[in-house]
Amino acid sequence: MYRITAPTCREIQVDLPTSKSITHRALILASLNSGTSEIVNPLFADDTRITLAALQNLGSILHERDAVIECSQPIGHLKKNKIFLGNSGSSARFLIPLAGLVNKPVTFYGESRLQQRPFAELFLALRQLGLHLESTNQTLPVKVFPKPIRGGQITFRHLPSSQIISALMMTAPWMQGDLKLRLPLRTPSLPYITMTCKLMQRLGFSVQFQGREIMITAGKPNYDWSLRIEKDLSAASYWVLLAMVNRMKVVLPGVDLPSLQGDARILEIAAEVGSRVMLYCDRIEIEGDISQGLKLDCRDIPDLVPALAVLALFAPGPSRLLHIKHLEYKESNRIAAVQQNIAVLGGKSSYDHGNLKIYPQKKYQGGIMRTYNDHRIAMSFAIAGTRIQDIRIDQPECVSKSYPEFWQHFSFYQPVI
């Protein structure tokens, strides 16, 4: 357990980790490519290590050297018939379709929380495409039997996660025919689908995304490519939050803009509610402030919601975070986790029909912040502790899921023995 302390400086510089979302996708696309693929500056964290190990078990040859991962052979020959996925929903959704492309059946399983998360829509889509899966409760564990995946057209009426679409998009080049996906009217986390589309196009895949329809041309890729992973803007949100709630300056070197990541939106939000955001060719500088409450549609930015909820505690008026129901199915039920911790601090919130309202208070109290083993809950409420005395974070090590160096960069804490 860590006790958070107040900042002892008015300006900090943080070298962000690289993007977890892009690293996941790059590893998958490299392992479906018959050419030589090079991933420069990948994120080495719990979730990406899970994806890396699983791809190696599916037959991909991936070599690590310094800050580079090189892939010299795609998946195909299974090494291990049971693959553990921890609590990584991204790994699970991206990898399950690939099991149809190897030479033997494979079973995927994970931690108890992962085995509570919804996979029914992904399983249904894969069965429509001709894949045979066995699962007792439409979740993990699931056994996948290798079989040619037909391709064709799938129309989605409901999506609990955009990762289902990204998973099918990345698998599509190995299908027997072209794949056409029609998205529902309300698609959660749509920028992550756009990220997958743009990344695939950048690496030479034939992908078209117009309106609500995505078309991917079948044909196994055989390219040589090198991809440098950009800085993680979901991770940036905690430092933007630190700047805003403490009215301090934060410098983030090496951030690429425009970005493939939808969470670049955090910089726009900061500017909209009173911070000064300065963009340079080699860095971003944030001089933090918050002069109004938030009213945000969060359908496209679910990973920012815990940080935005903490920010709302220090706003001059009530805040509304809208369309966040899909956060119930993340590493934790993030809505319940946020509300529980706000209540411990003496704050007030209400949740109804997918919308969270937070009422800032003049005074808060310290207490133990339960993380529910969720990295984004831990990092967000650590920032709250820089303004509220005697906040303690349980399970602080859970940040290794996406940001192993967080506590080293943060430094405003003391271990509680």
Residues 94 and 41 in one domain: yes
Q: At what angle do helices 334-344 and 375-384 cross, to 10 degrees?
A: 30
Phi, psi of 294 (to 5 degrees): -100, 140
| CATH number of residue 403's parent domain | 3.65.10.10
Decide: 25 and 229 in contact? Cβ < 8 Å: no
Say whether 394 is catalytic: no
Categorize the per-residue pLDDT at 117 as very low, low, confident or very high, splitting at 50, 70 and 90: confident
Angle among Cα 64, 69, 70 to the nearest 5 degrees reads 100
The chain-wide mean pLDDT, for the chain, equals 96
Residues 237 and 207 in one domain: no
Categorize the per-residue pLDDT at 382 as very low, low, confident or very high, splitting at 50, 70 and 90: very high
Q: Within a domain: residue 224? A: no
Residues 205 and 258 in one domain: no
* 365/388 Cα distance (integer angstroms): 7
Residues 73 and 118 in one domain: yes
Q: Within a domain: residue 226? A: no
Q: In what order do the strands lie in the sheet with 11-13?
A: 11-13, 249-253, 283-287, 276-279
Residues 12 and 25 in one domain: no
Residues 315 and 403 in one domain: yes
Percent of the chain with pLDDT over 70: 100
| Active-site hit among 232, 300, 303, 374 | 303
> The domain containing residue 324 runs over which residues?
2-17+233-415
Residues 199 and 256 in one domain: no
Span 389-398, average pLDDT: 97
Q: Within a domain: residue 170? A: yes
| 257-266 pLDDT per residue, tens | 999 999 999 9
Give the count of domains, the chain: 2
Which of 216, 246, 278 finishes a domain?
A: 216
Which of 174, 189, 216 finishes a domain?
A: 216
| 44-95 pLDDT per residue, tens | 999 999 999 999 999 999 999 989 999 999 999 999 999 999 999 999 999 9
Residues 365 and 405 in one domain: yes
Q: Within a domain: residue 40? A: yes
Cβ within 8 Å of residue 268, ≥6 positions away = none
Phi, psi of 283 (to 5 degrees): -170, 165
DSSP string, 281-336: SSEEEEE----S--EEE-TT-GGGHHHHHHHHTTSSS-EEEES-GGGGGSSS-HHH
| pTM for this prediction | 0.95
Span 178-195, average pLDDT: 94
DSSP string, 118-159: --HHHHHHHHHTT-EEE-SSSSSSEEEE------EEEE-S--
